[in-house]
Amino acid sequence: MSEGQPHPAVGLDDVIHQRVRLGILVMLAEIRECAFATLRTELQLTDGNLNRHVQVLADAGLVVVTKGYEGNRPRTWLKLTTEGRRALRAELLALEQLTARLKAADLDGP
């Protein structure tokens, strides 16, 4: 343990460190913009479940939601904000630090 340094778990963000929300942010980091329906399908969620997680991320300023039409059909698109990209990087760094600690630990020991 390092004196004066907080444990890497302290760096995990409660808004992001949730399976669905982390998945949303990672998918949005991979592409410029993503349709709500694509996220729903890829993450195997219901409309209501995905909508709730998107709302949490939007309220935190991590994603932007845009509603419009594709032809005559209403569509919802999501995009990662600059703050969302920064927060995702910080989350991944904290996870990498936790992974490094586990690799250095003797998990088979007493």
Q: Per-residue pLDDT for 110 more than 80?
A: no
Which pLDDT belongs to residue 6? 87
- Which residue is listed with tokens 């998107």? 54
| DSSP one-letter code for 5 | P
Q: What is the pTM (predicted TM-score) of this model?
A: 0.86
- Which residue is listed with tokens 């991979």? 30
Nearest-5° Cα angle at 83, 16 to 7: 50
pLDDT digits (tens, 9 = 90+) for 79-101: 999 999 999 999 999 999 998 98
CA atoms within 13 A on the CB side of 37: 6
Which fold would CATH assign to domain 11-97? Arc Repressor Mutant, subunit A (1.10.10)
Q: For the chain, which residues make up each domain, given as ranges?
A: 11-97
CA 20 to chain centre: 7
DSSP assignment of 6-34? PPGGGG--TTT-SHHHHHHHHHHHHSS-E
CA distance 105 to 99: 10
The helix, strand and coil proportions of the chain, stated in percent and rounded to the nearest 5, come to 55, 15, 30
